[in-house]
Amino acid sequence: MLTKFLLALWLLGNSSPCTPKSNAVFMQMIDSQKGSFTTQDPDDEWYGLPWHTLGVKEFKPFARIYNNPTLYVACAMEYMRDTTYNHRSKHFALLSMEKLPFKDCLKTLALCYRLYKSGLIHEETLSEALLLGFSESNVFDKNKGNPALVSILKKMASDKTLPTYMHKTISRMLN
């Protein structure tokens, strides 16, 4: 229920809705990366790959979304909510959202937390959502005292099901 509400907020906010055209561009990017997320590598190895340094940002379909994430964030979040896609492809979808503005990073974090709790994304994808705001734009750091950010971080900090490393990250973000 909360995920549908958050998705509706996107459609009312500054980000563009997921139109057939933007969805086609988004799906082209996902399809072009299928070889990356359909490998048989164990999860700890696959999620540990330094995707940011492997040239993925220079790949045209990925770069188009990466450099204009507000045009595609609604498509990315619809994709991540879809139960027919695997966890690794959803992680890749999130990586393309690294340059989101603060409000969208915050909504993405909230949605990823709900998706993780529902089993729809891997814990490393939730961890990536935590780090999303610390990427190039560093928006979580710049908005450290924002009540909405503090609220979601405190909610996550009290969640005993999250792994220890994530609690450490959240603690650093709150201090």
Mean pLDDT by 10 residues, the chain (175 residues): 47 72 91 74 68 67 90 94 88 88 91 95 89 68 90 96 94 88
Q: What is the pLDDT of residue 83?
A: 92
SS3 4: helix
Q: What is the pLDDT of residue 6?
A: 46
pLDDT for 137 equals 54
Count of domains forming the chain = 1
Taking a C-beta distance cutoff of 8 angstroms, is the pair 29, 64 a contact?
Answer: yes
pLDDT of residue 119: 92
Print the domain residue range for 107.
2-174
Position 70 scores a pLDDT of: 93
> How would you classify residue 31: left for phi > 0, otherwise alpha for psi between -120 and 50, otherwise beta?
alpha
pLDDT for 86 equals: 84
Contact residues for 3 (Cβ-Cβ < 8 A; gap 6+): 81, 111, 114, 115, 118
Nearest CA-CA partner of 88 in 151, 138, 44:
44
Q: What is each CA distance from 63 to 42, 52, 72, 97, 129, in whole angstroms?
A: 27, 12, 12, 10, 19
CA 9, 13, 17, 22 torsion-angle sign: negative
Query: What is residue 138's predicted lDDT score, i.e. its pLDDT?
Result: 72
pLDDT at residue 60, as a whole number: 85
CA distance 17 to 23: 10
